Amino acid sequence: MATAFKQIEDEAIEAARSIAYSMPIEDIDMTDSARFVDNTHWAFFERLRKEAPVHYCANGRFGPFWSVTRYKDIMAVDTNHAVFSSEAHLGGITAKDQDDDFILPMFIAMDQPKHDMQRKAVSPIVAPANLAVLEVLIRERAQKIFDNLPINEPFDWVDRVSIELTTQMLATLFDFPWEDRRKLTYWSDVTTIDVSAPDAKMTRDEQRAILIECLTYFTGLWNQRVNAPPAGDLISMMVHNPSMRDMQPMEYLGNLVLLIVGGNDTTRNSITGGLLFLNENPGEYQKLREDHSLIESMVPEIIRYQTPLAHMRRTALQDTILGGQHIKKGDRVVMWYVSGNRDETEIENADAFIIDRARPRQHLSFGFGIHRCVGNRLAEMQLKIVWEEILKRWPMIEVIETPVRVQSAFVKGYERMMVRIPG
Protein backbone atom coordinates (compact mmCIF):
# COMPACT_ATOMS: atom_id res chain seq x y z
CA MET A 1 0.00 0.00 0.00
CA ALA A 2 2.66 2.43 1.08
CA THR A 3 4.24 2.52 -2.34
CA ALA A 4 1.10 2.53 -4.50
CA PHE A 5 1.66 6.22 -5.18
CA LYS A 6 5.13 5.45 -6.47
CA GLN A 7 3.71 3.40 -9.29
CA ILE A 8 1.67 6.40 -10.46
CA GLU A 9 4.76 8.61 -10.35
CA ASP A 10 6.85 6.01 -12.15
CA GLU A 11 4.30 5.92 -14.95
CA ALA A 12 4.49 9.72 -15.33
CA ILE A 13 8.29 9.50 -15.39
CA GLU A 14 8.13 6.86 -18.13
CA ALA A 15 5.65 8.92 -20.14
CA ALA A 16 8.02 11.88 -19.92
CA ARG A 17 10.85 9.69 -21.20
CA SER A 18 9.36 9.40 -24.67
CA ILE A 19 8.94 13.19 -24.82
CA ALA A 20 12.47 13.71 -23.56
CA TYR A 21 13.97 11.50 -26.26
CA SER A 22 11.78 12.61 -29.16
CA MET A 23 11.85 16.40 -28.89
CA PRO A 24 14.57 18.41 -30.68
CA ILE A 25 17.44 18.45 -28.20
CA GLU A 26 18.01 22.19 -28.63
CA ASP A 27 14.49 22.81 -27.32
CA ILE A 28 15.13 21.17 -23.95
CA ASP A 29 14.87 23.86 -21.26
CA MET A 30 15.62 22.48 -17.82
CA THR A 31 14.82 25.79 -16.12
CA ASP A 32 11.14 24.96 -16.72
CA SER A 33 9.89 24.44 -13.16
CA ALA A 34 6.96 22.30 -14.37
CA ARG A 35 9.36 19.36 -14.80
CA PHE A 36 10.25 19.62 -11.12
CA VAL A 37 6.70 19.86 -9.77
CA ASP A 38 5.75 16.59 -11.43
CA ASN A 39 9.19 15.00 -10.97
CA THR A 40 9.62 14.23 -14.67
CA HIS A 41 13.00 15.91 -15.25
CA TRP A 42 15.01 12.67 -14.97
CA ALA A 43 14.84 11.44 -18.56
CA PHE A 44 15.66 14.91 -19.91
CA PHE A 45 18.83 15.06 -17.87
CA GLU A 46 19.65 11.50 -18.82
CA ARG A 47 19.45 12.40 -22.50
CA LEU A 48 21.54 15.54 -22.03
CA ARG A 49 24.23 13.59 -20.17
CA LYS A 50 24.42 11.10 -23.03
CA GLU A 51 23.98 13.28 -26.09
CA ALA A 52 24.87 16.87 -25.14
CA PRO A 53 26.56 17.01 -21.75
CA VAL A 54 27.37 20.70 -22.19
CA HIS A 55 24.16 21.87 -23.81
CA TYR A 56 23.09 25.26 -25.08
CA CYS A 57 19.50 26.38 -24.75
CA ALA A 58 18.91 29.61 -26.70
CA ASN A 59 15.38 30.21 -25.47
CA GLY A 60 15.43 29.41 -21.78
CA ARG A 61 12.75 30.80 -19.49
CA PHE A 62 15.32 33.12 -17.97
CA GLY A 63 17.31 33.69 -21.16
CA PRO A 64 19.94 31.69 -23.03
CA PHE A 65 22.10 29.37 -20.91
CA TRP A 66 24.43 26.38 -20.89
CA SER A 67 23.42 23.25 -19.01
CA VAL A 68 26.29 21.23 -17.54
CA THR A 69 24.96 17.80 -16.60
CA ARG A 70 27.90 15.41 -16.08
CA TYR A 71 29.63 14.99 -12.72
CA LYS A 72 33.15 15.68 -14.02
CA ASP A 73 32.19 18.78 -16.00
CA ILE A 74 30.30 20.17 -13.00
CA MET A 75 33.38 19.59 -10.85
CA ALA A 76 35.47 21.44 -13.46
CA VAL A 77 33.19 24.50 -13.36
CA ASP A 78 32.74 24.50 -9.60
CA THR A 79 36.50 24.42 -8.97
CA ASN A 80 37.36 27.09 -11.53
CA HIS A 81 36.18 30.21 -9.74
CA ALA A 82 38.69 32.35 -11.64
CA VAL A 83 36.78 31.75 -14.89
CA PHE A 84 33.27 31.03 -13.62
CA SER A 85 32.00 33.90 -11.49
CA SER A 86 29.28 33.88 -8.83
CA GLU A 87 28.97 37.67 -8.72
CA ALA A 88 25.44 38.97 -8.02
CA HIS A 89 25.81 41.88 -10.42
CA LEU A 90 26.54 39.45 -13.26
CA GLY A 91 23.41 37.47 -12.41
CA GLY A 92 24.40 35.59 -9.27
CA ILE A 93 24.09 31.89 -8.51
CA THR A 94 20.69 30.88 -9.88
CA ALA A 95 19.62 30.34 -13.49
CA LYS A 96 17.38 33.36 -13.12
CA ASP A 97 19.41 36.59 -12.99
CA GLN A 98 19.06 38.77 -9.95
CA ASP A 99 16.84 41.76 -10.86
CA ASP A 100 18.93 44.84 -11.77
CA ASP A 101 16.78 47.05 -9.55
CA PHE A 102 16.79 44.66 -6.58
CA ILE A 103 20.31 43.25 -6.30
CA LEU A 104 20.96 41.28 -3.13
CA PRO A 105 24.70 40.93 -2.58
CA MET A 106 25.50 37.89 -0.42
CA PHE A 107 28.73 35.99 0.05
CA ILE A 108 27.67 32.96 -1.98
CA ALA A 109 27.14 35.41 -4.87
CA MET A 110 30.53 37.12 -4.52
CA ASP A 111 33.96 36.33 -5.92
CA GLN A 112 37.28 36.53 -4.12
CA PRO A 113 38.46 38.30 -2.05
CA LYS A 114 35.25 39.66 -0.51
CA HIS A 115 33.58 36.25 -0.55
CA ASP A 116 36.36 34.77 1.58
CA MET A 117 36.23 37.51 4.20
CA GLN A 118 32.47 37.36 4.68
CA ARG A 119 32.32 33.59 4.65
CA LYS A 120 35.00 33.45 7.33
CA ALA A 121 32.99 35.89 9.45
CA VAL A 122 30.09 33.44 9.84
CA SER A 123 31.75 30.02 9.47
CA PRO A 124 32.64 29.71 13.20
CA ILE A 125 28.93 28.99 13.77
CA VAL A 126 29.58 25.49 12.36
CA ALA A 127 33.04 24.97 13.88
CA PRO A 128 33.44 21.57 15.56
CA ALA A 129 33.17 22.90 19.12
CA ASN A 130 29.93 24.69 18.31
CA LEU A 131 28.53 21.64 16.50
CA ALA A 132 29.02 19.63 19.67
CA VAL A 133 26.94 22.18 21.61
CA LEU A 134 24.25 22.22 18.91
CA GLU A 135 24.06 18.43 18.83
CA VAL A 136 22.68 18.28 22.36
CA LEU A 137 20.12 20.97 21.61
CA ILE A 138 18.98 19.43 18.32
CA ARG A 139 18.48 16.06 19.94
CA GLU A 140 16.35 17.44 22.77
CA ARG A 141 14.17 19.29 20.30
CA ALA A 142 13.85 16.38 17.92
CA GLN A 143 12.78 14.19 20.84
CA LYS A 144 10.11 16.68 21.83
CA ILE A 145 8.80 16.93 18.27
CA PHE A 146 8.67 13.15 17.82
CA ASP A 147 7.08 12.54 21.22
CA ASN A 148 4.16 14.75 20.21
CA LEU A 149 3.39 13.18 16.84
CA PRO A 150 -0.04 11.55 16.40
CA ILE A 151 -0.17 7.77 16.10
CA ASN A 152 -2.35 5.98 13.59
CA GLU A 153 -3.68 9.15 12.01
CA PRO A 154 -2.52 10.98 8.88
CA PHE A 155 -0.45 14.13 9.27
CA ASP A 156 1.84 16.31 7.16
CA TRP A 157 5.45 15.30 7.78
CA VAL A 158 6.75 18.47 6.12
CA ASP A 159 4.93 20.79 8.49
CA ARG A 160 5.10 18.80 11.71
CA VAL A 161 8.66 17.50 11.46
CA SER A 162 10.84 18.85 8.64
CA ILE A 163 9.85 22.51 8.91
CA GLU A 164 9.53 22.56 12.67
CA LEU A 165 12.92 21.01 13.28
CA THR A 166 14.89 23.10 10.81
CA THR A 167 13.13 26.32 11.81
CA GLN A 168 13.96 25.74 15.47
CA MET A 169 17.57 25.19 14.45
CA LEU A 170 17.65 28.37 12.43
CA ALA A 171 16.06 30.41 15.21
CA THR A 172 18.85 29.20 17.49
CA LEU A 173 21.60 30.08 15.02
CA PHE A 174 20.22 33.63 14.71
CA ASP A 175 19.16 33.86 18.37
CA PHE A 176 15.82 34.84 16.83
CA PRO A 177 12.69 35.50 18.93
CA TRP A 178 11.32 32.01 19.51
CA GLU A 179 7.61 32.74 19.16
CA ASP A 180 8.20 34.42 15.78
CA ARG A 181 10.31 31.59 14.37
CA ARG A 182 7.86 30.56 11.63
CA LYS A 183 8.54 33.93 10.05
CA LEU A 184 11.90 32.45 9.10
CA THR A 185 10.20 29.59 7.28
CA TYR A 186 7.93 32.05 5.54
CA TRP A 187 10.77 34.31 4.42
CA SER A 188 12.73 31.31 3.25
CA ASP A 189 9.80 30.12 1.13
CA VAL A 190 9.06 33.59 -0.23
CA THR A 191 12.69 34.12 -1.27
CA THR A 192 12.69 31.08 -3.51
CA ILE A 193 9.22 31.41 -5.05
CA ASP A 194 9.52 31.38 -8.82
CA VAL A 195 7.39 34.51 -9.33
CA SER A 196 7.60 34.30 -13.12
CA ALA A 197 6.02 30.82 -13.23
CA PRO A 198 2.59 30.78 -14.90
CA ASP A 199 0.60 30.13 -11.72
CA ALA A 200 3.00 31.66 -9.19
CA LYS A 201 1.68 32.20 -5.69
CA MET A 202 2.64 35.86 -5.60
CA THR A 203 3.82 38.72 -7.79
CA ARG A 204 7.34 40.06 -7.90
CA ASP A 205 6.26 43.22 -6.06
CA GLU A 206 4.59 41.23 -3.28
CA GLN A 207 7.73 39.15 -2.95
CA ARG A 208 9.91 42.24 -2.65
CA ALA A 209 7.59 43.83 -0.08
CA ILE A 210 7.83 40.73 2.12
CA LEU A 211 11.62 40.65 1.82
CA ILE A 212 11.74 44.27 2.93
CA GLU A 213 9.62 43.29 5.96
CA CYS A 214 12.24 40.63 6.66
CA LEU A 215 14.97 43.27 6.45
CA THR A 216 13.08 45.59 8.79
CA TYR A 217 12.60 42.85 11.36
CA PHE A 218 16.26 41.86 11.22
CA THR A 219 17.40 45.48 11.39
CA GLY A 220 15.75 45.58 14.82
CA LEU A 221 17.83 42.57 15.84
CA TRP A 222 20.97 44.18 14.35
CA ASN A 223 20.42 47.27 16.48
CA GLN A 224 20.01 45.15 19.61
CA ARG A 225 23.19 43.18 18.96
CA VAL A 226 25.31 46.15 18.01
CA ASN A 227 24.87 47.52 21.51
CA ALA A 228 25.55 44.19 23.18
CA PRO A 229 28.86 42.39 23.68
CA PRO A 230 29.82 39.96 20.85
CA ALA A 231 27.93 36.67 21.13
CA GLY A 232 27.89 33.35 19.28
CA ASP A 233 24.83 33.93 17.07
CA LEU A 234 25.01 34.73 13.36
CA ILE A 235 23.71 38.29 13.66
CA SER A 236 26.17 39.17 16.38
CA MET A 237 28.95 37.62 14.31
CA MET A 238 28.05 39.88 11.39
CA VAL A 239 27.54 42.98 13.54
CA HIS A 240 30.95 42.67 15.14
CA ASN A 241 32.97 41.56 12.10
CA PRO A 242 35.07 44.17 10.26
CA SER A 243 34.17 42.76 6.83
CA MET A 244 30.43 42.80 7.52
CA ARG A 245 29.64 45.47 10.07
CA ASP A 246 29.39 48.22 7.43
CA MET A 247 27.11 46.32 5.05
CA GLN A 248 24.43 48.27 3.22
CA PRO A 249 20.85 47.19 3.94
CA MET A 250 20.47 45.16 0.74
CA GLU A 251 23.71 43.32 1.43
CA TYR A 252 22.50 42.54 4.95
CA LEU A 253 19.24 41.26 3.49
CA GLY A 254 21.16 39.26 0.89
CA ASN A 255 23.30 37.50 3.47
CA LEU A 256 20.24 36.90 5.66
CA VAL A 257 18.30 35.16 2.90
CA LEU A 258 21.40 33.15 2.06
CA LEU A 259 21.68 31.90 5.64
CA ILE A 260 17.92 31.39 5.97
CA VAL A 261 17.51 29.42 2.75
CA GLY A 262 20.83 27.62 3.16
CA GLY A 263 20.07 26.63 6.72
CA ASN A 264 16.43 25.81 6.28
CA ASP A 265 15.11 24.72 2.91
CA THR A 266 17.87 22.28 2.18
CA THR A 267 17.82 20.29 5.40
CA ARG A 268 14.04 20.44 5.50
CA ASN A 269 13.76 18.78 2.12
CA SER A 270 16.35 16.16 2.93
CA ILE A 271 14.45 15.22 6.10
CA THR A 272 11.33 14.74 3.98
CA GLY A 273 13.17 13.07 1.11
CA GLY A 274 14.81 10.48 3.33
CA LEU A 275 11.50 9.15 4.59
CA LEU A 276 10.12 9.11 1.05
CA PHE A 277 13.10 7.15 -0.33
CA LEU A 278 12.89 4.54 2.42
CA ASN A 279 9.21 4.05 1.63
CA GLU A 280 9.99 3.70 -2.06
CA ASN A 281 12.76 1.22 -1.27
CA PRO A 282 11.39 -1.20 1.33
CA GLY A 283 14.49 -3.38 1.11
CA GLU A 284 16.65 -0.46 2.21
CA TYR A 285 14.23 0.37 5.03
CA GLN A 286 14.52 -3.24 6.18
CA LYS A 287 18.35 -3.06 6.11
CA LEU A 288 18.18 0.09 8.24
CA ARG A 289 15.80 -1.46 10.77
CA GLU A 290 18.17 -4.39 11.16
CA ASP A 291 21.27 -2.26 11.52
CA HIS A 292 20.92 1.26 12.87
CA SER A 293 24.62 1.92 12.35
CA LEU A 294 23.81 2.34 8.65
CA ILE A 295 22.48 5.82 9.49
CA GLU A 296 26.07 7.02 9.10
CA SER A 297 26.26 6.14 5.40
CA MET A 298 22.54 6.67 4.75
CA VAL A 299 22.67 10.36 5.62
CA PRO A 300 24.99 11.42 2.77
CA GLU A 301 23.08 9.07 0.45
CA ILE A 302 19.83 10.88 1.30
CA ILE A 303 21.51 14.20 0.55
CA ARG A 304 22.81 12.91 -2.79
CA TYR A 305 19.53 11.32 -3.77
CA GLN A 306 17.48 14.37 -2.80
CA THR A 307 19.88 17.03 -4.13
CA PRO A 308 17.92 19.77 -2.32
CA LEU A 309 19.33 22.47 -4.58
CA ALA A 310 18.92 21.31 -8.17
CA HIS A 311 21.50 23.68 -9.60
CA MET A 312 23.99 26.49 -9.11
CA ARG A 313 24.80 29.00 -11.82
CA ARG A 314 27.98 30.80 -12.82
CA THR A 315 28.81 33.49 -15.39
CA ALA A 316 31.87 33.08 -17.62
CA LEU A 317 34.41 35.86 -17.10
CA GLN A 318 36.28 34.95 -20.29
CA ASP A 319 35.96 32.74 -23.36
CA THR A 320 36.66 29.16 -22.43
CA ILE A 321 36.14 25.58 -23.60
CA LEU A 322 34.12 23.12 -21.56
CA GLY A 323 33.32 19.61 -22.72
CA GLY A 324 34.33 20.62 -26.25
CA GLN A 325 31.89 23.54 -26.33
CA HIS A 326 32.97 27.15 -26.76
CA ILE A 327 31.64 29.19 -23.87
CA LYS A 328 31.78 32.94 -24.45
CA LYS A 329 32.58 35.63 -21.92
CA GLY A 330 29.33 36.65 -20.24
CA ASP A 331 27.55 33.33 -20.89
CA ARG A 332 25.32 31.87 -18.21
CA VAL A 333 26.46 28.40 -17.12
CA VAL A 334 24.14 26.23 -15.04
CA MET A 335 25.60 23.25 -13.16
CA TRP A 336 22.83 20.72 -12.64
CA TYR A 337 23.81 18.99 -9.41
CA VAL A 338 20.60 16.95 -9.66
CA SER A 339 21.91 15.46 -12.90
CA GLY A 340 25.56 15.02 -11.90
CA ASN A 341 24.41 13.10 -8.83
CA ARG A 342 22.85 10.52 -11.17
CA ASP A 343 25.82 10.27 -13.52
CA GLU A 344 26.44 6.55 -14.02
CA THR A 345 29.98 7.16 -15.27
CA GLU A 346 30.95 8.55 -11.87
CA ILE A 347 28.58 6.89 -9.36
CA GLU A 348 27.83 3.20 -9.65
CA ASN A 349 24.12 2.39 -9.95
CA ALA A 350 23.47 6.11 -9.56
CA ASP A 351 19.70 5.94 -9.96
CA ALA A 352 19.35 3.61 -7.00
CA PHE A 353 18.96 4.64 -3.36
CA ILE A 354 21.46 2.48 -1.50
CA ILE A 355 22.06 3.23 2.17
CA ASP A 356 25.33 1.36 2.56
CA ARG A 357 27.45 2.73 -0.26
CA ALA A 358 31.22 2.49 0.21
CA ARG A 359 31.83 6.18 -0.67
CA PRO A 360 28.50 7.90 0.07
CA ARG A 361 29.96 11.39 0.40
CA GLN A 362 31.00 11.40 -3.22
CA HIS A 363 28.14 13.62 -4.40
CA LEU A 364 27.60 17.15 -5.64
CA SER A 365 24.78 18.33 -3.39
CA PHE A 366 27.02 20.61 -1.32
CA GLY A 367 28.89 21.91 -4.34
CA PHE A 368 32.68 21.85 -4.53
CA GLY A 369 35.37 24.51 -4.47
CA ILE A 370 35.36 27.74 -2.51
CA HIS A 371 31.56 28.02 -2.43
CA ARG A 372 31.03 24.54 -1.00
CA CYS A 373 28.24 24.51 1.56
CA VAL A 374 29.52 25.95 4.82
CA GLY A 375 26.88 24.07 6.85
CA ASN A 376 27.41 20.61 5.39
CA ARG A 377 28.43 18.93 8.62
CA LEU A 378 25.58 20.59 10.53
CA ALA A 379 23.13 19.35 7.91
CA GLU A 380 24.48 15.81 8.19
CA MET A 381 24.30 15.99 11.97
CA GLN A 382 20.67 17.08 11.93
CA LEU A 383 19.71 14.22 9.63
CA LYS A 384 21.67 11.74 11.73
CA ILE A 385 19.85 12.78 14.89
CA VAL A 386 16.47 12.69 13.13
CA TRP A 387 17.01 9.09 12.06
CA GLU A 388 18.47 7.94 15.35
CA GLU A 389 15.45 9.31 17.19
CA ILE A 390 12.95 7.91 14.67
CA LEU A 391 14.41 4.41 14.83
CA LYS A 392 14.36 4.46 18.63
CA ARG A 393 10.60 4.95 18.43
CA TRP A 394 9.10 3.35 15.35
CA PRO A 395 10.12 0.59 12.94
CA MET A 396 8.03 2.15 10.16
CA ILE A 397 6.51 5.46 9.15
CA GLU A 398 4.30 5.14 6.08
CA VAL A 399 4.07 7.73 3.34
CA ILE A 400 0.41 7.48 2.32
CA GLU A 401 0.15 9.64 -0.79
CA THR A 402 2.28 11.24 -3.49
CA PRO A 403 4.12 14.19 -1.97
CA VAL A 404 3.42 17.68 -3.32
CA ARG A 405 6.61 19.06 -4.80
CA VAL A 406 7.90 22.63 -4.91
CA GLN A 407 7.46 24.51 -8.18
CA SER A 408 11.06 25.49 -8.73
CA ALA A 409 14.03 24.46 -10.83
CA PHE A 410 16.28 25.65 -7.99
CA VAL A 411 14.86 24.43 -4.66
CA LYS A 412 14.11 20.76 -5.14
CA GLY A 413 11.74 19.94 -2.34
CA TYR A 414 8.34 19.19 -0.93
CA GLU A 415 5.38 21.34 0.07
CA ARG A 416 3.54 18.50 1.76
CA MET A 417 3.92 14.80 2.43
CA MET A 418 1.15 12.96 4.25
CA VAL A 419 2.29 10.09 6.45
CA ARG A 420 0.98 7.76 9.14
CA ILE A 421 2.74 6.11 12.03
CA PRO A 422 1.14 2.71 12.53
CA GLY A 423 0.11 2.22 16.16
The site for another protein (CB under 8 A) is made up of 75, 78-79, 81, 112, 116, 119-120, 123, 126-128, 359, 361-362, 366, 368-370, 372, 374, 376-377
Q: Which residue, 84 or 146, is less far from another protein as judged by CB?
A: 84
Q: How far is the CB of 374 from another protein (least distance, A)?
A: 7
Q: Which is nearer to another protein, 208 or 361 (CB)?
A: 361
Written as one string, the DSSP assignment of 42-68 is HHHHHHHHHH-SEEEETT-TTS-EEEE
> Closer CB to another protein, residue 32 or residue 346?
346
**Please, how many CA atoms are within 13 Å of residue 194, restricted to the half-sphere of its CB?**
21
Least separation in angstroms between residue 363's CB and another protein is 8
Query: 3-class secondary structure for 218-259?
Result: HHHHHHHHHCCCCCCCHHHHHHCCCCCCCCCHHHHHHHHHHH
Nearer CB in complex with another protein: 31/241: 241
Nearer to another protein, 116 or 206 (CB): 116
CB atoms within 10 A of CB 331: 19
Question: Residue 345 Cβ, how far from another protein at the closest point, in Å?
Answer: 13
For residue 139, which amino acid is it? R
Nearest distance from C-beta of residue 362 to another protein, angstroms: 6
Output the smallest distance, CB 126 to another protein, in A. Answer: 7
CA–chain centroid gap for 379, Å, is 11
Distance, in Å, from the CA atom of 192 to the CA atom of 275, rounded to the nearest integer, reads 23
Question: Which alpha helices (DSSP H) does 86-194 contain, by range?
Answer: 114-122, 128-147, 157, 164-174, 182-192
What are the CA-CA distances from residue 307 to residues 250, 300, 326, 336, 341 (Å)? Answer: 29, 10, 28, 10, 8
* Sign of the Cα pseudo-torsion (334, 338, 343, 348, in order): positive
Instruction: Report yes or no: 422 and 396 within 8 Å, Cβ to Cβ.
Output: yes
Measured from the CB of residue 339, what is the shortest distance to another protein in angstroms? 18
Shortest Cβ 347–another protein spacing (Å): 11
First to last CA, the chain: 16
| Closer of 94 and 118 to another protein (Cβ) | 118
In whole angstroms, what is the distance from residue 189 CA to residue 7 CA?
A: 29
Question: Which residue's CB is nearer to another protein, number 11 or number 348?
Answer: 348
Nearer to another protein, 119 or 181 (CB): 119
Residue placing its CB nearer to another protein in the complex, 30 or 378: 378
Q: Is 97 helix (H, G, I), strand (E, B) or coil?
A: coil
Least distance between another protein and beta carbon 196 (Å): 33
The packing angle between helices 265-280 and 249-262, to 10°, is 20
What is the amino acid identity at position 318?
Q
Are the beta carbons of 357 and 297 closer than 8 angstroms? Answer: yes
E-strand stretches of 331-378: 332-336
Residue of 228, 174, 162 lying closest to 416 (CA atoms): 162
Smallest gap from Cβ 370 to another protein, in A, equals 5
* Cβ closest to another protein, residue 28 vs residue 383: 383
CB of 299 to another protein, least distance (A): 13
